[in-house]
Chain A
């Protein structure tokens, strides 16, 4: 009986200790020696910087290694000029590029444009967003170059995807969009 009483007390103390953990806030830490970074993490809040974050915007008109600025401007004239540009990707690796392009398209584009590019993505079907055209729309007459331009800058209600996709990925998606267009107009 005494042993039972003691184990109940021990269990109670354990429960009491466990009840101190609160799921709505970070749990207690034991000796957090190297839990908090000494250096600056990418999106860490930094009070002495103007934007309040360690992620600073680079100065304008600077070019980093392995990157070149896009040469066409964000207007109708730029788009017309961009329409003519060819995909720089290696045509011998077209299969792999299309496969990659499909993956990226399904992630970033299909939610509005639909898996076949008919403009019937999930958001359109649920009427969250309207007026997404089909790639087969003859009036639009999209090319790989104009697709690239649109991904880079966005168009009308579509925003830019330059932050999500890099140079090569944008071309892979553009090539895949051309394939979808061909499939639709066949």
Chain B
């Protein structure tokens, strides 16, 4: 470590006097402890929302899509809005774990596990909508090109809705594999700490016999890097394909080449906001403030600000192109967004997505946990309205004025959305109690370069280890007065 050079400008990523054992103890604590009353209350609320959502889904499928607020003109609304919203939220997880890995961002290590969990759980929510918005969901398996008795009747590979099937299913499976691979050393840690036989059995099963040999670690790192390299184009292409649902159409307001990058930017924007919302709560309730620091929150805020600005640029580009195009339909589509019957949705989208992230330019604001939390929720509201505005305001007024109409959701539309939120939190709450929510193996790999204890040792010019007379190597630790010693702690 003496030869290690770390720029003194870098702030510690692990706060406090934390050694390897402290990391294990802190991260295993929620898994090994018992759920408190608050967890059960929140879990019950989420479960109730989920059950309500299941009821709404059963009602929709058994009675028909007519229970929704859709009509012949606006035939996509809350269903696809929620689908794109959930897919978008899922994207930050892969971004954090894959793209930030490629860019060697050490700060990702405290947040990637939960971000990936968020990806998995929100892609599951998203995956519900393509099924339940079908008129005949029991024939959904027809979208899969399987040989069959209809003379091997095939699917048409020209539809972005089919690409969605491949995109979402690939995305979910790759994310799941990536996530689980990263979990192996951590499950191994929980397994090795477990004292109850049942827990031991479960974590032995899910950790796949991880023993942490040098060869395992070497391959683990390679696999992570390869998967990160695969997941990065995947994350860009998945939301691109989702955006193709609209961009490849002929609807004014949809037919735009800007959609693929703009949707991806919006996905990162909303996904990071969701990570922010979840982690600000999680660091508090799981006592992980030493790992998910204000610096992490600030860096996420910066990503939110950057992607928010990209989204803002896209909005302005769309408006400019609409004016510049000279196509009266497109001009009207944007005039209708701004001044039509859904002006309030457009205004909400603009203010939440373009204005709110801009306050992150102020350091005082982006390092404030409270403001970050509020902004992260505001951003997700705004991003929901972005999808709603794009879908509904383009559909409800297009080429033929005789087809102009309005859209209003029914309680079933709303119930299903609430149900997916409930389902998401049910999964996330269960995850937070059973999974190591921080990748301890990864955090331990940066502990000595970025931990506060080791940084201060380096700053004080002290060795990190001391070899005692009996040959035992001991870590140098800091006592409460801040003096450094090599004891038997």
B324 neighbours in A (Cβ, 8 Å): none
Per-position binary interface string of chain B over residues 25-65, scored 1 when its CB falls under 8 Å from any chain A CB and 0 otherwise: 00000000000000000000000000000000000000000
Closest A residue to B139 by beta carbon equals A31
A31 neighbours in B (Cβ, 8 Å): 136, 138-139
> At the interface, yes or no: A33 with Cβ under 8 Å from chain B?
yes
Within 8 A of A (CB), among B137-166: 138-139
Per-position binary interface string of chain B over residues 320-363, scored 1 when its CB falls under 8 Å from any chain A CB and 0 otherwise: 00000000000000000000000000000000000000000000
Closest A residue to B136 by beta carbon equals A33
Per-position binary interface string of chain B over residues 100-141, scored 1 when its CB falls under 8 Å from any chain A CB and 0 otherwise: 000000000000000000000000000000000000101100
B139 neighbours in A (Cβ, 8 Å): 31
CA distance A33 to B138 in the complex (A): 11
- We find that the number of chain A residues with CB closer than 8 angstroms to chain B is 2
How many contacting A-B pairs (Cβ < 8 A)?
A: 4
B136 neighbours in A (Cβ, 8 Å): 31, 33
Q: A173 to chain B: closest CB distance in Å?
A: 40
CA distance A31 to B136 in the complex (A): 10
Per-position binary interface string of chain A over residues 12-45, scored 1 when its CB falls under 8 Å from any chain B CB and 0 otherwise: 0000000000000000000101000000000000
Q: B388 to chain A: closest CB distance in Å?
A: 32
A33 neighbours in B (Cβ, 8 Å): 136
B138 neighbours in A (Cβ, 8 Å): 31
Q: B139 to chain A: closest CB distance in Å?
A: 7
Closest B residue to A31 by beta carbon equals B138
Q: B316 to chain A: closest CB distance in Å?
A: 48
CA distance A33 to B136 in the complex (A): 9
Closest B residue to A30 by beta carbon equals B138
CA distance A86 to B216 in the complex (A): 100
Q: A105 to chain B: closest CB distance in Å?
A: 38
Closest B residue to A33 by beta carbon equals B136
Q: A34 to chain B: closest CB distance in Å?
A: 10
CA distance A31 to B138 in the complex (A): 8
Closest A residue to B138 by beta carbon equals A31
Q: A29 to chain B: closest CB distance in Å?
A: 12
Within 8 A of A (CB), among B71-109: none
CA distance A33 to B142 in the complex (A): 15
CA distance A47 to B138 in the complex (A): 33
Q: A65 to chain B: closest CB distance in Å?
A: 39
CA distance A151 to B132 in the complex (A): 62
CA distance A31 to B142 in the complex (A): 13
CA distance A62 to B138 in the complex (A): 50
CA distance A47 to B136 in the complex (A): 31
Q: B352 to chain A: closest CB distance in Å?
A: 43
Q: B168 to chain A: closest CB distance in Å?
A: 24
CA distance A31 to B139 in the complex (A): 9
Within 8 A of A (CB), among B280-317: none
Q: B134 to chain A: closest CB distance in Å?
A: 13
CA distance A75 to B138 in the complex (A): 64
Q: A162 to chain B: closest CB distance in Å?
A: 41
Q: B141 to chain A: closest CB distance in Å?
A: 10
CA distance A33 to B137 in the complex (A): 12
Q: A47 to chain B: closest CB distance in Å?
A: 29
CA distance A31 to B137 in the complex (A): 11
CA distance A31 to B134 in the complex (A): 15
Q: A10 to chain B: closest CB distance in Å?
A: 19
CA distance A143 to B138 in the complex (A): 65
Q: B62 to chain A: closest CB distance in Å?
A: 13
Q: B106 to chain A: closest CB distance in Å?
A: 44
Q: B63 to chain A: closest CB distance in Å?
A: 15
Per-position binary interface string of chain B over residues 385-410, scored 1 when its CB falls under 8 Å from any chain A CB and 0 otherwise: 00000000000000000000000000
Q: A8 to chain B: closest CB distance in Å?
A: 25
CA distance A33 to B139 in the complex (A): 11
Q: B136 to chain A: closest CB distance in Å?
A: 7
CA distance A9 to B136 in the complex (A): 33
Q: A121 to chain B: closest CB distance in Å?
A: 42
CA distance A31 to B62 in the complex (A): 13
Q: A152 to chain B: closest CB distance in Å?
A: 45
CA distance A185 to B138 in the complex (A): 71
Per-position binary interface string of chain A over residues 95-126, scored 1 when its CB falls under 8 Å from any chain B CB and 0 otherwise: 00000000000000000000000000000000
Contacts from A to B (Cβ < 8 Å): 31, 33
A-B contact pairs, 4 of them (CB 8 A): A31-B136, A31-B138, A31-B139, A33-B136
Contacts from B to A (Cβ < 8 Å): 136, 138-139
- The 3 A-B pairs at the shortest CB distance, nearest first, are namely A31-B138, A33-B136, A31-B139
